[in-house]
Amino acid sequence: MNRAALAVLGFVVLAALWSFATAPAAVDVTQALQAPGRGHWLGTDPIGRPVAALLAGGAATALIVGGGATLFAFVAGGSLGLWAGIRGGWTDSLVMRLSDVILAVPGLLLALALAAILPPGPVSLAFAIGFAGWPGFARLARAETRVVAGSSFVEAARLAGLPEARIWRRHVWPSVRGALLIQAAFALAGAITVESSLAFLGLGDPAGASWGALLAEGMRYLRSAPWLILAPAVALSATVLALQRLAEDASL
Amino acid sequence: MTRWLAGRLLATLGTALAAFALVFLLLRAVPGDPVDIMLGERAAATEREALRGALGLDRPWPLALARDLAGLTRGDLGTSLWLRRPVAELVAERIGPTVALTLASLGLAWALALPLGVRAGWRPDSRLDRWSGRAAGLLHAIPSFALGPLLLWLVAVRLEWLPLGGYGSWSALVLPALTLGTGMAGFSLRLVRRQTAEARASTHVAAARARGAPEGRLRRLHALRPGLGPVVTLVGLQMGALLSGVVVVETVFRWPGLGRLLVQGVLARDYPLVQGLTVVFTAIVVLANLLADLVVAALDPRVRKVGG
């Protein structure tokens, strides 16, 4: 396992937990736009909140919204894909054509359109992001299911007279699961990126902190307060890179 | 070949129409009244009725969908509520900058990925291979809206080499293209490297080497060319991700293209504009995939035979 990647993710989780345990960052306009240094080790934002606390809040949002989106895509896409792989025929065609259409629409565009029309909040965001993500899981689950369903150990189980439900649960699903979990790590990296993109573009959760919202704020103070973009840019890139590394290591 | 192409073009149109129908249905499936969301709850009754008519909310959805789809086949993408102009007109105005940005970033990505990927793959585990592999992973992972502000700060604010944003000069194109092209560069570099490493170990390269072909020719002709097919296909499949990047990069750099128009449309809750742009973006993705297939056929005669 890649230790650096695990350390980064562990740090992100701890930061998120810390932000839950403490009160939201207090506004203090006398401390506005302080450079990193004594007292505020990552500096402060235009209304005097410490960037470190905002970053931790952003970690919590990234994990909740990104995790929720990935979970939705995993469950919806995984079960649709399994179902298509098992049933075949027109069920299979229907699920695959639908996923073709969704895959043809750029993912961020679909999430933007949904986020704009849903009531603001973390649940809506998770759904908007996950909706664009389920076809990836569905295609993978379907392909894996078809390979496994045609293999000799499944045939042997069937010849042994095992009930169909048990064959799927005990023989097919465990073989399909691994590939889906690796896909979930990649999807989580993507979902965290989209969550921050939406916040950056002005469609995040107005009540919550987000690395993307912090970056958007920092864009307006590029000259006077570059620390506002440096901290979230590093946090986001490191998290995405760590997740991709872990997924790649696991897929070898 | 002609029949195959006609079939693919028809499928392209079908996918774009289906994407439109998808967004159309999502808008109606969502709880709450879209008119409230677009105009706010205090809007005047006449204005609400006008919007209902424009969105087709005053009639059963199958009829409204049929009306809009029929319009699409005539090239009518709807009318923007916010700018009060036909979406097709707006697209015609804004597509130039987006195409310029996309092509420039693809060009940059390939100028980096091709030579580096081939050299790295030709000498696996060399120092160049290890370092370019790490760099590619990093480039692929940095989201464009993190890289864009960083580049702006470093190159435009600190070093003052390039303008902060805007449109109309070559220097204004550099940073957006770099930001957008970075992810694609990392992705392509890894693919080209893998393909080259595989081809290098293959029998047809060994045979050509035994015939006395020089190394440079081996690398270019025998290893690179057959390996490029899958790379082109996968880059075509990455088009959706690239266009997602366009949306963000155009906003960061205030680039007057389709992506920025889309974000403005979304923020203004201008649903006809968003629907129309969805069709355009989807058509671009599907056409890019078609183009990638044609390039693959040109590169590899075996595909042409099968393709008919």
Q: For an interface test with A, give the residue of B28, B153, B164, B249 to mutate (most A CBs within 10 A).
A: B153
Pick from A114, A119, A232: CB nearest B26 = A114
CA distance B207 to chain A (A): 31
Look at B157 and A226 and tell me if their CB atoms are within 8 Å: yes
Task: Tell me: pLDDT of A83 over 60.
Answer: yes
pLDDT band, residue A75 (cuts 50/70/90): very high
Task: Name the average pLDDT for chain A.
Answer: 87
Q: Return the residue of A nearest to B165 by Cα.
A: A219
Tokens of B45: 């009754």
Does any CB of chain B come closer than 8 Å to the CB of residue A172? no
pLDDT of residue A106: 87
Considering only residues B305 and A132, tell me which one the structure prediction assigns the higher pLDDT: A132
A171 touches chain B (CB under 8 A): no
* Of B108, B113, B102, B105, residue with least CA distance to B135: B113
pLDDT in tens, chain B (308 residues): 677 778 878 887 788 888 888 888 887 776 666 677 677 777 778 878 877 777 777 777 788 888 888 888 888 888 887 888 899 999 999 999 999 999 999 999 989 888 888 888 888 888 888 888 888 888 888 888 889 888 888 888 878 787 776 677 777 888 899 999 988 888 888 888 888 888 888 888 888 888 888 877 777 777 777 778 878 887 887 888 888 899 999 998 889 999 999 999 888 888 888 888 988 998 888 888 888 888 887 877 766 654 44
Least CB–CB distance from B263: residue in A119, A193, A201: A201
Contacting A residues, span 108-137, partner chain B, CB-CB under 8 Å: 108-110, 112-119
Contact B137 A241 (CB under 8 A): yes
Closest CA of chain A from B174, distance in Å: 18
- What DSSP character marks residue A50? B
Give the CA-trace dihedral at B284, B290, B296, B299, to 10 degrees: -80
A215/chain B closest Cα distance in angstroms: 7
Say whether A212 and B145 touch across the interface (CB within 8 A).
Answer: yes
Contacts of A201 in chain B (CB under 8 A): 247-248, 251, 263, 266-267
Q: Positive or negative, the Cα torsion across A101, A105, A111, A113? A: negative
How distant is the Cα of A40 from the closest Cα of chain B, in angstroms? 21
Cβ <8 Å between B30 and A118: yes
Nearest CA to CA, how far is B242 from chain A (Å)?
Answer: 8
Contacts with B146 from chain A: Cβ below 8 Å? 196, 215, 229, 232-233, 236-237
Where do runs of H (alpha helix) occur along A88-206?
Answer: 89-104, 107-117, 122-149, 152-159, 164-167, 173-200
Among the ranges given (A186-190, A229-233, B142-146), the one the predictor scored with the smallest mean pLDDT: B142-146
**Which residues does B280 contact at the CB level (< 8 Å), separation at least 6?**
B77, B91, B95, B258
The predicted pLDDT at position A1 comes to 57
* Prediction ipTM score: 0.84
**Chain B residues with beta carbon closer than 8 angstroms to that of A110:** 23, 278
CB atoms within 10 A of CB B35: 20
Residue with the larger pLDDT of the pair B41 and A154: A154
Check A116 against B262: CB less than 8 A apart.
no
- Chain A residues touching B57 at Cβ < 8 A: none
Q: Which amino acid, one-letter code, is at B58?
A: D
Rounded to a whole number, what is the distance in Å from the CA of B244 to chain A's nearest CA?
5
Closest chain B residue to A186, measured at CA = B141
pTM, to two decimals: 0.88
What is the reported pLDDT for A193? 93
> pLDDT digits over A99-120, tens only?
988 888 888 988 988 888 888 8
> What pLDDT score was predicted for residue B308?
40
Does A63 contact chain B (CB < 8 Å)? Answer: no
Contact B278 A108 (CB under 8 A): no
Residues of A in contact with B191 (CB under 8 A): none
- Whether pLDDT at A221 is above 90: no
Instruction: Using CB atoms, pick whichever of A100, A223, A233 lies closest to residue B146.
Output: A233
DSSP B215-236: HHHIIIIIIIHHHHHHHHHHHH
How much is the average pLDDT of A23-42? 74
